[in-house]
Structure 1
């Protein structure tokens, strides 16, 4: 009898211990999936692979490129339409090398040249999330069908050989742990260089890390001039953090493609990671001085707008359409309406971004730390091409700004592109 009791006691405890191990394993799996979800935010996967009204990560976004329209794919764990049959190694090859299990080569609209630096640990968590934390979807997005010769994907083998690298992330020598965390995020998962680094003749990023001064030195995306991120000397580190977390700071507000980046990626980052990115960007430009402000010119513009006498047409258009929010000072309202004096988009060599904003307006994203969606109306319906040109010219040459005039022909070109899209 005692032997039977001992046997039952042993079995019961073995079951409890087994249940304990299973619970621990489940907790570890849940933690890994949650970490993978965060990694997917760092990599901004949702921005390209999720369309409004469609299942998460089911693809279908039309990405305009110089080669034609490229459609994002379904990356849910559906075995027929997604990536559900991928092993972890195959998943890694697709993300880091742009090579699918059947040998098909991806176009670098998928930023695998930057994702190549993702660590094994982060890749493992990312795989766990997509396989076990994402709901499968049978959504079949449109197939990418570029014209010849770009339709020959096998040619990407040679492009990869010439312009991409499989080297892992290399820490910046002598830099702090925080700066190196920022470097890792910017160079790999954040793939900031895919927009902010100039492109070569092969449409390749000219650099992938801080060892080259071309890295994050600015570029052009769909006609918008993309600013350099090397230091942002006119912003404090906290202003960089605020911009990434909320889409706005005391001097600027997001526009263009950056709105999506903030909405789907940077606004979800931890404070520590945001501060690390800001520290790294400051490190890149630690020898850059803030742009000089022409105080006399600024005061002259303020005085003329305040008096509202003998105004040029551009000045009159500004007071009638812009002055209520951006004020006669061109300083706007901190954290609400962006500053125009010394603004990057205003002083860009290519005025497309400014023209686009005047015509189509802009809306700040709703984020956890700034849920309000402040919007600027578009003026395409009420201003002619000539009027927009004169307004933009005033803004680009008022206060401390010193950029070239805008022509009606430039405005007409942007207006046409808006109608087409």
Structure 2
């Protein structure tokens, strides 16, 4: 597309779809009634708070002066028009894989389909040495991938489409892949066993998306996984934490074909084999010994569960389909990392509100009603009941996270 050529409406519409797939507005829209794409959202990172930029086509405060080449360089190389580096809160390690055709569609939409907003977000201020943006070039050179996505000839069209969406526009690894010492993702595609094996971000644990039998997707079908991405519910589980916004702002708008392709790809990722909890209904029978959880769930935890949890999640831990998630066999319940479980009890949360899904449901905060000891007891009970077999939660686990959250 020549610089002065008017893009077609079809190209702009395609770019709008791709922007949804990439969830651009999710990061580039301020939390308090901000204008779409005008920036100002504060993003927490280990290096300080990063403020998202204005990516509307405003000539003064946005990207209105960006050529296509400037735009593509920002997305793929993490470089602004003035040559300064962007922090990897902008997922350019994933966006480098975006095809040229999709990049042109995105550019057409951002320049012609998004209203210009004259708004200058606050400057990102992080402490030394992380405020030295020149070093970001070195970071990318050493730790970020440089190649476009290449389809695999040994895989079918669905698999390749899913792989492309997961690895590039969806930038799923930004949350679901653990980070290394240099804050790089420890894998960027299926060739790495760490890829999408779960990651800790802003005091949430983004789930393991591989085939591990406890914390992963081994017991979830591709159909249920696609339904989960579309509605926030599937296989008895419900989205929580930052995944709620991802589904509300992005995934629910993808076509059924694309959601199926993503599910097909994810279901081919093998298990990591790492230490993990398990779910086996036979373990609920008397006399069956568990390997990680207490053989007899603690009575104190049972009492807390009966008083505060059973009304929604039921005595058998199976919840109410499409309303309250099951705790029996829930991958987030039996996973090794308990950060999200503790945070949900301390802060509460809600399920997504989607076009095709059930009404939003809220879980209350128990910060003022349960002590650290009680939260540890009830989570240990849940992780040892109904066939769940996962390590106990300690009072120190709860106290540490509550202190971090200032709750």
Question: With structure 2 as the length reference, what TM-score do the two structures score?
Answer: 0.90
Q: 1:297 aligns with which of 277, 283, 304?
A: 283
Residue 145 of structure 2 corresponds to which residue in structure 1? 165
Are 1:49 and 2:34 counterparts? no
CA 1:294–1:165 in 2, change beyond 3 Å: closer, same or farther? closer
CA offset digits 1:344-388 (Å, max 9, x no partner): 222232322101111211211111111511111221121122211
Is 1:216 equivalent to 2:202 in the alignment?
no
Consecutive unaligned residues in structure 2, runs of 5 or more: 212-216, 288-296
Deviations 1:111-151 (A, max 9, x none): 00000000111111111111111111112211111111110
Deviation digits for residues 307-331 of structure 1 (CA, Å, limit 9, x no counterpart): xxx9812101101111111111111
CA distance in 2, matches of 1:419, 1:164: 34
Residue aligning to 1:413: 400
Against the structure 1 CA distance between its residues 344 and 286, is the aligned structure 2 distance closer, same or farther, given a 3 Å change threshold?
closer
Aligned to 2:223: 238
Rg larger in 1 or in 2?
A: 1
Q: How does 1:2-17 map to 2 (within 5 A)?
A: none
In structure 2, which of residues 238, 249, 255 is the aligned counterpart of residue 264 of structure 1?
Answer: 249
* Contact 2:220 2:235 survives alignment (8 Å): no
Return the match for 1:314 from 294, 301, 317: 301
- Pick the aligned partner of 2:234 from 244, 249, 261: 249
Q: Please give the root-mean-square deviation of Cα atoms over the aligned residues, in Å.
A: 2.2
Per-residue deviation at 1:195?
A: 1.4
- In the alignment, the residues of structure 1 paired with residue 271 and residue 338 of structure 2 have an alpha-carbon distance, to the nearest angstrom, of 28
Distance 1:102 1:35, change over 3 A: same
* C-alpha contact (below 8 Å) 1:116/1:168 kept by paired residues: yes
Distance 2:241 2:145 in 1: 29
Report whether the alignment pairs 1:384 with 2:366. no
- Alignment check: 8 A CA contact 2:278 2:390 kept: no
Task: Report deviation, 1:406.
Answer: 2.0
Aligned residue in 2 for 1:37: 16
Distance (Å, rounded) in 1 between the aligned partners of 2:256 and 2:321? 21
Whether the 8 Å CA contact 1:300–1:399 is kept in 2: the answer is: no
Distance 2:164 2:238 in 1: 25
Task: Answer whether contact 2:25 2:37 (CA < 8 A) is retained.
Answer: yes
* C-alpha distance in structure 1 between counterparts of 2:336 and 2:279, whole Å: 18
1:165-213 Cα distance to aligned partner (Å, 9 max, x none): 2211011231110110001000100001111122221110122111222
Partner of 1:73: 53
Displacement after TM superposition at 1:287 (Å) = 11
Distance 1:311 1:55 in 2: 50
Q: Secondary structure of 2:388's match?
A: coil
Whole-Å Cα distance in 1 between the matches of residues 172 and 222 of structure 2? 17
Aligned position for 1:199: 179
Q: Which of 110, 113, 120 is the equivalent residue of 1:130? A: 110
Distance 1:180 1:127, change over 3 A: same
Range 230-239 or range 149-158, more displaced = 230-239
Q: Tell me how far apart the structure 2 counterparts of residues 293 and 385 of structure 1 sit (CA, whole Å).
A: 26
Q: What is the alpha-carbon distance in structure 1 between the residues aligned to residue 357 and residue 92 of structure 2?
A: 31
Structure with more helix by fraction? 1
Counterpart position of 1:393 = 380
Q: Which of structure 1's runs of 4+ aligned residues deviate more than 4 A?
A: none
Query: Which residue of structure 2 aligns with residue 10 of structure 1?
Result: none
**Equivalent residues of 1:244, 1:267 under 8 A apart:** yes
Secondary structure (helix, strand or coil) at the match of 2:265 reads: helix
Structure 1 residues 292 and 401, CA, compared in 2 at 3 Å: closer, same or farther?
Answer: closer
**In the alignment, which of 107, 110, 131 is matched to residue 87 of structure 2?**
107
Please give the alpha-carbon distance, in whole angstroms, between the structure 2 residues aligned to 1:251 and 1:418: 28
Contact kept, 8 Å, 1:245 with 1:262, in 2: the verdict is yes
- CA shift in 2, pair 1:414/1:85, >3 Å: same
2: distance between equivalents of 1:367 and 1:69? Answer: 29
